[in-house]
Structure 1
């Protein structure tokens, strides 16, 4: 099994934000360990905040709301 090539933060964000769901303002999720490995939590949070996106963390996943609409927890 070949090792994955290193990914720069720019490549990571380009791939994340070019997904169909992200382009449509929907929801995407990414594994917390992957985000921390490739861009770091601080850079990730800063970029999401800059874009006005909400992010929640649960069970090792970041759930990213790719729009600036408010998020309401129902239950």
Structure 2
């Protein structure tokens, strides 16, 4: 799928991490294929780290915890 000309990797990353859910310290989820296609894994994870967030991979998704609170697996 081609990328629209106006959607740069930097703009996409800014949109993901400035969402209301991210601003509230919540969770954002993105498909790995979309991350790789639009921004690249390294740039995505660098932005997660720069913001002090945490990310996990589950199946075909990255789940980003937009806070620095501990993550505890329950099951």
Please indicate the TM-score interval, normalised by the length of the shorter structure.
Answer: 0.7 to 0.9
**SS of the residue 2:70 aligns to:** coil
TM-superposed CA distance for 1:50, in Å, is 1.4
What pairs up with 1:1-75 in 2 under 5 angstroms? 3-6=2-5, 7-75=7-75
Distance 2:3 2:54 in 1: 29
**SS of the residue 1:46 aligns to:** helix
User: Normalised by the size of structure 2, how large is the TM-score?
Assistant: 0.87
CA RMSD of aligned residues (A): 1.6
Structure 1 moving runs of 4+ over 2 Å: none
- Runs of 5+ in structure 2 lacking a partner? none
Q: How many residues align?
A: 74
